[in-house]
Chain A
Amino acid sequence: MASTACFMIVSKNDIPIYEAEVGTVPKKEDAAHQHQFILHAALDIVQDMAWTTSAMFLKAIDRFNDLVVSVYVTAGHTRLMLLHDSRNDDGIKSFFQEVHELYIKTILNPLYLPGSRITSSHFDTKVRALARKYL
Chain B
Amino acid sequence: MDPKILKYFLLVHDNQDSMLEKATAILTEMRSTFGANNCRLLCINSSADCVEEHQENPWASYNNSASNNKQFGCFLNVDDIGELRNTMHDLSSKHIIPHMELKIRVLNQQVSATRKGFRNQIKNLWWRKGKEDAPENPNGPMYTFSSTESQIRVLGDYAFMLRDYELALSNYRLISTDYKLDKAWKHYAGVQEMMGLAYFMLDQSRKDAEYCMENAFTTYLKIGSSRNATRCGIWWAEMLKARDQFKDAAGVYFRISGEEPLHSAVMLEQASYCFLLSTPTMLRKYGFHLVLSGDLYKKCDQIKHAIRTYKSALSVFKGSAWNHIRDHVHFHIGKWYAFLGMFDEAIKHVLEVLACGHQSKATQELFLRDFFQIIQETGKTFEVLTLQLPMINFPSTKVVFEDHRTYASPAASSVRESLWQSLEEDMVPALSVMKTNWLESQSKMLPRKYKESNVCVAGEPIKVDVSFRNPLQIPISISNVSLVCKHSTEYHEAESDANGSLMDHQSDEELRTVSMSGDFSLDTSLFTLSEVDILMQGGETILVQLTVTPRVEGTLKVVGVRWKLSGSVVGIYNFSSDIIRKGVAKGKRKPKQSVKDNLQFLVIKSLPRLEGVIHNFPRTVYAGDLRRLTLELRNPSKISVKNLKMRISHPRFLNIADKEVMNLEFPNCLRKQTNSSPSGMQVDSAKARNSIFVFPKTTSISCETPLKWPLWLRAAAPGSISLYITIYYEMEDESPVITYRTLRMHYNLEVLPSLEVSFQASPCPSRSQEFLVRMDVINRTSSESFHVHQVSCVGDQWELALLQPLDTVFPLEFLTAGQALSCFLKLKNCRKRGTTEDNISSPATSGKADVRLVGSDSSGLFDTSTSPFNLFHHHERLHQERQNQGYGSTVDFIVISESRSDSDASGVPKTIEVFSHHTCHFRIGSKSPIWWLMDGPRTVRHDFSTAFCEINLRMIVYNSTEYVVSVRINTLDSTPVINSVNVAASVSSNEVGWYDMSHLSEIKVTSDARGTRVGKAPQPENVSPFIWSGSSSTQLNLGPLSSAEVPLQICMFSPGTYDLSNYSLHWNLVSSGVGGDDENGSNVSSGTCLGDSYHITVLQKE
Q: Is residue A77 contacting chain B, with contact meaning CB distance below 8 A?
A: no
Q: Is residue B287 contacting chain A, with contact meaning CB distance below 8 A?
A: yes
User: Which chain B residue shows the least CB distance to A39?
Assistant: B322
The answer to whether B287 and A16 have CB atoms under 8 Å apart is no
In the complex, A16→B322 CA distance in Å?
A: 7
A/B pair count, beta carbons within 8 Å? 42
The answer to whether B321 and A15 have CB atoms under 8 Å apart is yes
The answer to whether B288 and A37 have CB atoms under 8 Å apart is yes
B280 to chain A, nearest CB (A): 7
Complex interface residues of chain B between 284 and 299 (CB less than 8 A to chain A): 284-285, 287-289, 291
Which B residues are CB-close (under 8 A) to A44? 275, 282-285
Which B residues are CB-close (under 8 A) to A41? 284-285, 287-289
Which A residues are CB-close (under 8 A) to B289? 41
Q: Is residue A33 contacting chain B, with contact meaning CB distance below 8 A?
A: yes
Among A38, A44, A45, the one with the most B-chain Cβ atoms within 10 Å of its Cβ is A44
User: Which chain B residue shows the least CB distance to A13?
Assistant: B321
B350-371 Cβ-contact flags toward A at 8 Å (1 or 0) = 0000000000101100000000
The answer to whether A47 and B280 have CB atoms under 8 Å apart is yes
Interface residue from A29, A40, A45 paired with B322 (Cβ < 8 Å): A40
Q: With A15-B321, A29-B362, A29-B363 known to touch, is A37 a contact of B291 (CB < 8 Å)?
A: yes
Q: Is residue B940 contacting chain A, with contact meaning CB distance below 8 A?
A: no
User: Which chain B residue shows the least CB distance to A35?
Assistant: B324
Q: Is residue A56 contacting chain B, with contact meaning CB distance below 8 A?
A: no
In the complex, A32→B321 CA distance in Å?
A: 14
Interface residue from A16, A29, A33, A40 paired with B284 (Cβ < 8 Å): A40
B370 to chain A, nearest CB (A): 14
Q: Is residue A48 contacting chain B, with contact meaning CB distance below 8 A?
A: yes
The answer to whether B325 and A36 have CB atoms under 8 Å apart is yes
Which B residues are CB-close (under 8 A) to A36? 322, 324-325
Interface residue from B280, B288, B325 paired with A48 (Cβ < 8 Å): B280
Q: Is residue A43 contacting chain B, with contact meaning CB distance below 8 A?
A: yes
Complex interface residues of chain B between 539 and 562 (CB less than 8 A to chain A): none
A41 to chain B, nearest CB (A): 4
The answer to whether A43 and B284 have CB atoms under 8 Å apart is yes
Which B residues are CB-close (under 8 A) to A37? 288, 291, 325, 328
Size of A's binding interface in residues, CB under 8 A: 16
A118 to chain B, nearest CB (A): 14
Which A residues are CB-close (under 8 A) to B325? 33, 36-37, 40
Which A residues are CB-close (under 8 A) to B328? 33, 37
Which B residues are CB-close (under 8 A) to A38? 288
In the complex, A43→B362 CA distance in Å?
A: 29
Which B residues are CB-close (under 8 A) to A48? 280
B324-361 Cβ-contact flags toward A at 8 Å (1 or 0) = 11011000000000000000000000000000000010
In the complex, A40→B284 CA distance in Å?
A: 6
A61 to chain B, nearest CB (A): 12
Query: What is the predominant secondary structure among interface residues of chain A facing chain B?
Result: helix
B280-322 Cβ-contact flags toward A at 8 Å (1 or 0) = 1011110111010000000000000000000000000000111
Which B residues are CB-close (under 8 A) to A14? 321
In the complex, A32→B322 CA distance in Å?
A: 11
Among A14, A15, A36, the one with the most B-chain Cβ atoms within 10 Å of its Cβ is A36
B356 to chain A, nearest CB (A): 11
In the complex, A15→B282 CA distance in Å?
A: 17
Complex interface residues of chain A between 8 and 58 (CB less than 8 A to chain B): 14-16, 29, 32-33, 36-38, 40-41, 43-45, 47-48
The answer to whether B283 and A33 have CB atoms under 8 Å apart is no
In the complex, A44→B288 CA distance in Å?
A: 11
Complex interface residues of chain B between 764 and 812 (CB less than 8 A to chain A): none
B269 to chain A, nearest CB (A): 15
User: Which chain B residue shows the least CB distance to A42?
Assistant: B284
In the complex, A93→B584 CA distance in Å?
A: 47
Which B residues are CB-close (under 8 A) to A40? 284, 287-288, 320, 322, 325
Interface residue from B321, B327, B362 paired with A16 (Cβ < 8 Å): B321
Which B residues are CB-close (under 8 A) to A45? 282, 285
In the complex, A104→B284 CA distance in Å?
A: 28
In the complex, A25→B865 CA distance in Å?
A: 85
In the complex, A14→B288 CA distance in Å?
A: 16
Which B residues are CB-close (under 8 A) to A43? 284
A62 to chain B, nearest CB (A): 9
B359 to chain A, nearest CB (A): 8
A108 to chain B, nearest CB (A): 24
In the complex, A33→B282 CA distance in Å?
A: 19
B473 to chain A, nearest CB (A): 15
Which A residues are CB-close (under 8 A) to B280? 47-48
In the complex, A38→B328 CA distance in Å?
A: 13
In the complex, A109→B897 CA distance in Å?
A: 55
In the complex, A33→B328 CA distance in Å?
A: 7
Which A residues are CB-close (under 8 A) to B360? 29, 32
Interface residue from A15, A33, A47 paired with B324 (Cβ < 8 Å): A33
Complex interface residues of chain A between 77 and 106 (CB less than 8 A to chain B): none
In the complex, A2→B615 CA distance in Å?
A: 71
In the complex, A45→B288 CA distance in Å?
A: 13
In the complex, A3→B275 CA distance in Å?
A: 30
B208 to chain A, nearest CB (A): 26
Interface residue from B275, B321, B327 paired with A33 (Cβ < 8 Å): B327
In the complex, A14→B322 CA distance in Å?
A: 9
A29 to chain B, nearest CB (A): 7
In the complex, A45→B284 CA distance in Å?
A: 10
User: Which chain B residue shows the least CB distance to A27?
Assistant: B360
User: Which chain B residue shows the least CB distance to A62?
Assistant: B285
In the complex, A14→B287 CA distance in Å?
A: 15
In the complex, A117→B699 CA distance in Å?
A: 63
User: Which chain A residue shows the least CB distance to B289?
Assistant: A41
Complex interface residues of chain B between 922 and 976 (CB less than 8 A to chain A): none
Complex interface residues of chain B between 251 and 285 (CB less than 8 A to chain A): 275, 280, 282-285
**Chain B residues with a Cβ under 8 A of chain A:** 275, 280, 282-285, 287-289, 291, 320-322, 324-325, 327-328, 360, 362-363
Q: Please name 20 further chain A to chain B contacts, defined as beta carbons within 8 Å, in addition to the given A16-B322, A37-B291, sorted by A numbering.
A: A14-B321, A15-B321, A16-B321, A29-B363, A33-B324, A33-B327, A36-B324, A36-B325, A37-B288, A38-B288, A40-B287, A40-B322, A41-B284, A41-B287, A41-B288, A41-B289, A44-B284, A44-B285, A45-B285, A48-B280
Instruction: Give 4 nearest A-B pairs by CB, closest first.
Output: A41-B288, A44-B282, A15-B321, A33-B324
13 contacts between A and B (CB under 8 A): A16-B321, A33-B324, A33-B327, A36-B324, A40-B322, A40-B325, A41-B284, A41-B288, A41-B289, A43-B284, A45-B282, A47-B280, A48-B280
